[in-house]
């Protein structure tokens, strides 16, 4: 019992102990928050990529070389593991507004089939959501938010999402603009160009023959928010027929999107598609590519995984460096309490008992630092978006800009197993850091220690 009393006495009598606890707490905080954010990034990227892309795509390395053939669709659907197929057409373009010009990517889809191969229709926003987002609703004060909600109510902006209505308008057109083709764009596109539902945009693209098709107008009939910033800023969705007419490639496609029975078995279905193509069951042009959703984005996903690993290693090194503060505190204790340890040895204290005092101090310092840092880190992970929004409102600078990280909100995922390992590792390092100072005190002869000045 006296060992616990002396351990607590030495800790509470030294202000440097609080410094060591604070330093360790801050380092553990980074060890919790940084990997949690990166874990969230990795999970969210997988989710976003799967939501905006199909499980498998068939495409060619030559533009517009695949035919729009119902027979081909049926042949692909007959392959084991394939659940649905949707044709698509893609092409880059330039858009012009108020004498400004920027680039975008046009994607033509078959709305009825597109709804079967992916979750894209779930990203369409209601008119009310579009209106509020255009005014950066989520980052306004409560008073301004109330004013915007009142304006949305007075303006008659519906809160009902109607993805089927958007798809229908992509095919049938907009009654308010007869004769003009229609499109849907991302919310960041709307914000960048200060547009509203029903506005028109002017697009320029090159035809299959290399001729430039200038300034064709499209009516915006829908707005989507995938949470993937690049899509929400650059992608313009329209029907396959509208894009074929715009480019001048009737009956041509860029590829086919495929939904599988089990996305985790996409590689197996991919091989079945390749085998069917090689056997002649699926008639397509040469030089096609059959890629799973992971293969299409492997560089991006690998980069996120590598960044996560590097941040974890760096933050753990910071914790190891902070643990050195425990060594410094206990080393100072050896020099300031040398006579006390000599007296303790002279009245019967064993070297093992003195060593256990230091081991106990190191363990307690590590435990308190780890507990405080872990609690602060978990709390920060839960409210990281609120903190980022507060900084943005006060300073105008966003620490996690969506246009850099391609996400509207910062996702977090606390890894319980990883944090449990870190907890045990920090306790072990704290105890190890106490060994050298403990041995210095335990092995010093009692008489020499008593005469120490």
Strand-pair partners of 100: 97
Label residue 441 by pLDDT band (50, 70, 90).
low
Query: Which pLDDT score, from 0 to 100, does residue 239 have?
Result: 95
pLDDT tens across 425-435, in order?
877 877 777 77
**With 60 as the cut, is the pLDDT of residue 419 above it?**
yes
| pLDDT: which is higher, 134 or 307 | 134
**With 60 as the cut, is the pLDDT of residue 136 above it?**
yes
**With 70 as the cut, is the pLDDT of residue 140 above it?**
no
**With 70 as the cut, is the pLDDT of residue 336 above it?**
no
Name the average pLDDT for the chain: 79
60-69, 91-100, 189-198, 399-408: least confident range: 399-408
Query: Which pLDDT score, from 0 to 100, does residue 87 have?
Result: 93
| Residue matched to tokens 């920027």 | 102
| pLDDT: which is higher, 286 or 66 | 66
Contact 196, 90 (CB under 8 A): no
State the average pLDDT over residues 192-221. 83
87-91, 97-101, 376-380: least confident range: 97-101
| pLDDT: which is higher, 75 or 409 | 75
Query: Which pLDDT score, from 0 to 100, does residue 330 have?
Result: 63
**With 70 as the cut, is the pLDDT of residue 344 above it?**
no
State the average pLDDT over residues 88-113. 88
State the average pLDDT over residues 8-37. 72
Query: Which pLDDT score, from 0 to 100, does residue 241 have?
Result: 93
Query: Which pLDDT score, from 0 to 100, does residue 440 have?
Result: 64
State the average pLDDT over residues 293-311. 72
pTM: 0.66
Handedness of CA 244, 246, 247, 248 (dihedral sign): positive
Which residues are CB-contacts of 114 (< 8 A; sequence separation ≥ 6)? 86, 88, 120, 121, 167, 257
| Residue matched to tokens 């999402």 | 161
Label residue 294 by pLDDT band (50, 70, 90).
confident
Query: Which pLDDT score, from 0 to 100, does residue 349 have?
Result: 61
pLDDT tens across 312-322, in order?
777 777 777 77
**With 60 as the cut, is the pLDDT of residue 450 above it?**
no
State the virtual CA torsion across 342, 345, 346, 347 in degrees, nearest 10: 130
**With 70 as the cut, is the pLDDT of residue 131 above it?**
yes
Label residue 220 by pLDDT band (50, 70, 90).
very high
State the average pLDDT over residues 284-288. 75
131-140, 271-280, 307-316, 352-361: least confident range: 352-361
Nearest-angstrom CA–CA distance, 346 and 25? 37
Nearest-angstrom CA–CA distance, 201 and 219? 7
The CA-based diameter of the chain, rounded to the nearest angstrom, is: 103
Element spanning 334, H or E: helix 298-336
Nearest-angstrom CA–CA distance, 440 and 453? 16
């Amino acid at each position: 019992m006296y060992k616990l009393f002396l351990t607590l006495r030495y800790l509470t009598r030294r202000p440097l102990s609080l410094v060591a606890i604070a330093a360790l707490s801050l380092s553990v905080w980074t060890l919790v928050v940084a990997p949690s954010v990166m874990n969230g990034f990795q999970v969210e990227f997988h989710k976003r990529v799967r939501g905006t892309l199909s499980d498998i795509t068939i495409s060619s390395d030559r533009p517009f070389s695949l035919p729009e053939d119902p027979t081909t669709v049926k042949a692909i659907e007959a392959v084991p593991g394939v659940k649905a197929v949707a044709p698509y057409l893609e092409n880059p373009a330039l858009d012009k507004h108020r004498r400004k010009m920027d680039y975008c990517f046009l994607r033509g889809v078959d709305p009825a089939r597109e709804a079967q191969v992916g979750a894209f229709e779930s990203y369409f926003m209601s008119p009310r959501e579009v209106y509020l987002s255009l005014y950066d609703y989520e980052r306004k004060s409560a008073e301004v938010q109330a004013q915007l909600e009142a304006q949305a109510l007075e303006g008659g902006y519906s809160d009902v999402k109607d993805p089927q209505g958007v798809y229908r308008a992509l095919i049938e057109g907009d009654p308010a603009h007869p004769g003009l083709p229609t499109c849907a764009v991302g919310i960041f596109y709307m914000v960048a160009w200060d547009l509203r539902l029903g506005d028109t945009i002017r697009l320029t693209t090159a035809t299959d023959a290399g001729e430039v098709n200038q300034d064709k107008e499209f009516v915006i009939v829908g707005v989507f928010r995938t949470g993937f910033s690049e899509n929400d800023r650059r992608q313009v969705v329209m029907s396959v027929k509208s894009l074929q007419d715009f480019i001048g490639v009737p009956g041509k496609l860029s590829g086919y999107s495929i939904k599988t029975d089990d996305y985790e078995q996409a590689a197996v279905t991919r091989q079945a598609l390749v085998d069917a193509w090689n056997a002649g069951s699926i008639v397509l042009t040469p030089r096609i590519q059959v890629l799973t959703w992971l293969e299409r984005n492997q560089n991006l996903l690998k980069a996120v995984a590598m960044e996560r690993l590097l941040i974890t290693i760096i933050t753990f090194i910071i914790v190891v460096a902070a643990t050195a503060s425990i060594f410094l505190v206990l080393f100072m204790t050896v020099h300031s309490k040398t006579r006390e340890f000599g007296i303790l040895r002279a009245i019967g204290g064993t070297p093992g008992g003195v060593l256990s005092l230091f081991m106990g101090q190191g363990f307690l310092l590590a435990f308190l630092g780890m507990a405080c840092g872990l609690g602060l880190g978990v709390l920060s992970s839960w409210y990281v978006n609120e903190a980022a929004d507060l900084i943005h409102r006060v300073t105008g600078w966003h620490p996690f800009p969506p246009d850099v990280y391609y996400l509207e909100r910062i996702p977090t995922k606390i890894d319980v197993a990883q944090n449990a390992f870190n907890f045990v590792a920090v306790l072990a390092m704290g105890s190890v850091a106490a060994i050298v100072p403990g041995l210095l005190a335990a092995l010093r002869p009692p008489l020499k220690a008593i005469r120490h000045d």
